[in-house]
Amino acid sequence: MILPDYANNIFSLACGVADFLGVKRNCISKTQLQGRRLALVLMDGFGWNIMERAGIVKREARKIQTVFPSTTSTVLTTLFTALTPGEHGVLGYNTFVKELGGIINTLKYTHPAVDLRDSIKESVPFEKAFPEVRGYLGEVTDRKTLEVVPKGLEDTEFSRATHAKTTDHKPYVDWWDGLYLFSQSLQGDYDFIYFYLPYVDTLAHKHGPYAEPTLQAAREIFESLYELAKKHPNYTFVITADHGHVEVSDNVVVKQDAELMKMLDLPPYGDSRALFLKSRYDLKTYLTRKYNVRVFQGEELARLLGRVGNVELPDFVAVPEDNKAYIYDYKEKGEYGKLKGHHGGLLPEEFEIPLVVING
């Protein structure tokens, strides 16, 4: 298990990108980025473990950490606010929001059992539910910026709060369309381009992080991006990821632990490998006796989440020390327990990511 180092992780990269774009943030560290133009590519789920297993070796690559919990919504919020999770409050795939009276899916901004995206926005906009989320792209002046993202993600509540406040948007329908739009955009006059790719993550969830479809996608996508970077030396390319994946050995179905459920004030939130828990009872003793988890509480939470601001925190956070996934599925016949790759915790496979800086 690795404890987060907020002096040298993707939070530091976020501070470096904000600084590159002329936006000041109160950062404890920042990655120095050189050059006049910047292309930021995020390969979702492309952990250091997958990069190694895929046989990708580049002299420009180095290993860094992500933030906790190691899940997309938390990491992207940090990446585009230059705030720690403890400051912005997006604490996992599912997060408790007191103003909304319960737990919501942060990426889709809806109840966890509902597939309809942004179902809450007419009642309470995302920015009201998460007032600390302040994306720095909305503060950029005198720079032409662009995001290239999958169609449907360019105008969501979560996107608008984080990465969608760019000058232009180019949604794409598949990998080949995205690569084409990205390569065409590099020939333009953009000062900053963000390119998001979900494919490695999708395959790692479905087949596992070391299955051939996952590794083949990782190789082909990365090598195409690396080749493109070499053709455009006028851009500093940064290729990174939000998290890796562990290959799940077994599932723990949390609902089946009747004693634990009685002690909880709310269902668990966070992620399958980062259980955020609210309870008046001594959960640390109970959980560590029954499960192979490390439990954090009180002042220890800042060690996980970085600087803590005006956000709602859990009473306990339980992090698995093995490869088990802790499943609490809000859907009666949900598919969550069928996934072969999971993330959110602190094992090297899910917490270590590549940082590849080319032309910089």
The DSSP result for 244-290, as a single string, is --EEP-EEEEGGG-HHHHHH-SS--EEETTEEEE--SS-HHHHHHHH
Here the CATH number for the domain that contains residue 206 is 3.40.720.10
pLDDT score of 309 more than 90 = no
Residue 221: which domain range? 10-246+345-358
Residues 240 and 256 placed together within one structural domain of the fold: no
Q: How confident is the model at residue 353 (pLDDT cuts 50, 70, 90)?
A: very high
Same domain, 259 and 349: no
End-to-end CA distance of the chain: 32
The 10s digit of each residue's pLDDT in 96-147 is: 999 899 999 999 999 999 989 999 999 999 999 999 999 999 999 999 999 9
Q: Give the residue among 78, 94, 96 at the shortest CA–CA distance from 132.
A: 78
Instruction: Provide the phi-psi class of 151: left if phi over 0, else alpha when psi is between -120 and 50, else beta.
Output: beta
Is 340 part of a structural domain of the chain?
Answer: no
Q: Is residue 105 part of a domain?
A: yes
Domain assignment of residue 91, yes or no: yes
* Inter-helix orientation angle 10-20/72-81, to 10°: 40
- Cis check: omega of the bond before 69, within 30 degrees of 0: yes
Residues 97 and 177 in one domain: yes
Pair 240, 257 in one domain: no
pLDDT confidence bin for 338, thresholds 50/70/90: confident
Residue 47 in any domain: the answer is yes
pLDDT tens across 18-46, in order? Answer: 999 999 999 988 999 999 999 999 999 99
- pLDDT score at 333: 76
Regarding whether 315 and 214 lie in a shared domain, the answer is no
pTM, 2 dp? 0.95
> Which uninterrupted H or E stretch holds 293?
strand 293-297
Q: What is the mean pLDDT of the chain?
A: 95
> Do residue 238 and residue 255 come from a single domain?
no
Q: Is the pLDDT of residue 360 over 80?
A: no
Task: Answer whether residue 1 is part of any domain.
Answer: no
Same-domain pairing of 289 and 204:
no
* 317 & 183 share domain: no
Tokens standing for residue 276: 């955020």
Q: Are residues 323 and 354 in the same domain?
A: no
Span 213-225, average pLDDT = 98
In this prediction, residue 224 carries a pLDDT of 97
- The answer on 153 and 31 residing in a single domain is yes
Q: Give the span between the Cα atoms of 268 and 93, in whole angstroms.
A: 11
Could you tell me if residue 4 is inside a domain? no
pLDDT band at 74 (very low <50, low <70, confident <90, very high): very high
The set of residues, in sequence order, having a beta carbon less than 8 Å from that of 70 and lying 6+ positions away, is 242, 243, 244, 273, 274, 343, 344, 345, 346, 350, 351
Asked whether residue 186 falls in the same domain as residue 285, the answer is no
Do 283 and 315 contact (CB within 8 A), yes or no?
yes
Say whether both 256 and 184 belong to one domain.
no
Question: Tokens representing 118?
Answer: 């942004």
With respect to residue 69, please indicate whether it lies within any of the assigned structural domains.
yes
The number of distinct structural domains making up the chain is 2
Q: For residue 65, what are the β-bridge partners?
A: 9, 352
In a domain, 319, yes or no: yes
